[in-house]
Amino acid sequence: MTIVLLMAVPYLPLAALLVPGGGGVPLMILQDGESSTGGRVSSRGPVGDDVPDGPSTVFSKNAVRERSRDWEMKRLEGCGWHLLMTARCAVRGDAAPNDLRAVGVHADAFIEVIEKTLEGDSSDIRFSVRVFRDKADYECFASISGAKGAASFYDPRMLEAVLLWSEDGRPWRLLMHELAHAYLDRVFARREPLWLTEGFAEYFGAYAVEKGGIVKPGAPNEKQSERLRKALDDKAFVPLRRLVSASRDAFYGDGHALHYAEAGSLMMFLARSQDESRPRVLWELARGKGLHHVWDLKELEAKWIDSIKEAKK
């Protein structure tokens, strides 16, 4: 017998929890520690390392207040939560209203970066972000959602990016990562292949803020590069054909950190390699074109590995 549990109260911290009796739809998550998958959790994340605080260095409190001036904020009855409607998102959470506004400003900016990079069209889509300040409530929500131990996750069943408001108040890399999953899912209907979706999420999550406040994805990550060089030296590096065809268990298994690092590195290499002969690689991949149709895999692997080795010089 299949038992479905649905809590019908719409915006309580433990609301809208759907527990499928079967395998369910996988989650894309970033996590710390072990997870109890039950067939539902797709990722053991996180793999990248911390990057600069990002847009927060540009979005001061005054800037956040100005950008969110016309946004509607509602108190949700009886649960201590608020709902904020931004230009692109519905942000709900038990974090302080000003923190929710900061999340909304960053989320809108991140969506614009993803959209500009992939040339998608989300004009008729409102993205959903759920933010927990209460760690116990978040952990309960994540556990019931099949994402136990996750620092953040994207749940395609609810079309929602979910994160815990961190003590330092800067969960921006996690937010960008999960919004990349949400964008790929909702705009391009892409949840697989895993190297692609996690590669894109790592690519966008590793951003830098350039002069003028421009958010640019694909910033260099020396710790990630060192991990890849060590894997090459130790002959643990996952060959390209195995990476792009990895099953869910293989990708998110004991070697998940290396799979994430390789997927992110490969996506960054493809982005840097767009030129006159291959002008729209990321555009084509996001829309379903196979990697082998974009580039000869043997040639691609050789050039990609060379770029990893050269990054040390």
Is residue 277 pLDDT above 70, yes or no?
yes
pLDDT of the residue at 226: 93
3-state secondary structure of 285: helix
- Phi then psi for 203, rounded to 5 degrees? -60, -50
pLDDT on residue 147? 86
Task: Please tell me the predicted confidence (pLDDT) of residue 63.
Answer: 83
pTM for this one?
Answer: 0.83
Which pLDDT does position 5 carry in this prediction? Answer: 36
The 8 Å CB, 24+ separation contacts for 300-309 are 300/240, 301/239, 301/240, 303/269, 303/273, 304/240, 304/265, 304/266, 304/269, 305/232, 305/237, 307/269, 307/272, 308/225, 308/228, 308/229, 308/232, 308/265, 309/229, 309/232
Closest CA to 308 of 233, 205, 202: 233
> Using 50, 70 and 90 to split pLDDT, how confident is the model at 27?
very low
Mean pLDDT, rounded, for 182-196: 96
Domain spans of the chain?
5-189, 222-310
The model's confidence at residue 16, banded by pLDDT at 50, 70 and 90, is: very low
